[in-house]
Amino acid sequence: MSEAIAEVKEVFREIMLHVLECEDELILELNDPGLKEAVRRHFENLRSQLAKVYVRKLRKEYEREIKAFSERLDVTFLPSKLIPRPPRSRDRARTWIERLSSILENYEEAIKQLRKKAS
């Protein structure tokens, strides 16, 4: 779990605790059972709205992490994903030497090009 997700969880926990405290205090102040029930329903609605915001926020953070992770995977599995194996009929050692040579010559640009081609 990343710090961003932990932070979202922590902030939401604090907000919920605060909301619950407010609800308890308000209900203690009231004597009318009808009013108490209305406040409870109101707060329940508020908590449900907050939970929706929380889930949305959390999902966004997870998606961001998954995206970053997939980008890393692209690098991790780079050779097998991006570089095709030379055909059997050719001098494969020579082809590999040439291929490696051209990739290493200008590595970052070569990777960019290979990714573009793959996508």
Partner 1 sequence: MPSNPPIEKVLEELRSGKIAGETKITMECLDAIASSTVYSNAKRPEDFEHEIAEYLALFLRERPRLILLANAARYLLNEVKQGIEKGLSVTELKKLVTLKAMDFNKSMRAAIDKIGEIGARYIEDGDVILTHGASTTVLSILAKAKEEGKSIQVLVTEARPEFQGRILAMALADLGISTTLIVDSAHYYYMKKVHKVVLGATAICPNGCIVGRVGTGAVALAAHEHRVKVYVAANTQKITAEVAFAEEASHERGDPSWVLPQEESRRLGIFVANPAYDITPPEYVSLIITERGAVPPQGVILIAKEIYGWPLVTFKAADFFEYLA
Interacting residues with partner 1 (CB under 8 A): 3-4, 68, 71, 75-76, 78-80, 83, 85-86, 92-93, 96-97, 99-109
Please state the closest distance from residue 85 (CB atom) to partner 1, in A: 5
Please state the closest distance from residue 86 (CB atom) to partner 1, in A: 7
Rounded to whole angstroms, how far apart are CA atoms 13 and 88? 60
Considering the complex, state which of residue 45 and residue 95 has its C-beta at the smaller distance from partner 1. Answer: 95
Please state the closest distance from residue 55 (CB atom) to partner 1, in A: 22
Considering the complex, state which of residue 46 and residue 100 has its C-beta at the smaller distance from partner 1. Answer: 100
Considering the complex, state which of residue 33 and residue 87 has its C-beta at the smaller distance from partner 1. Answer: 87
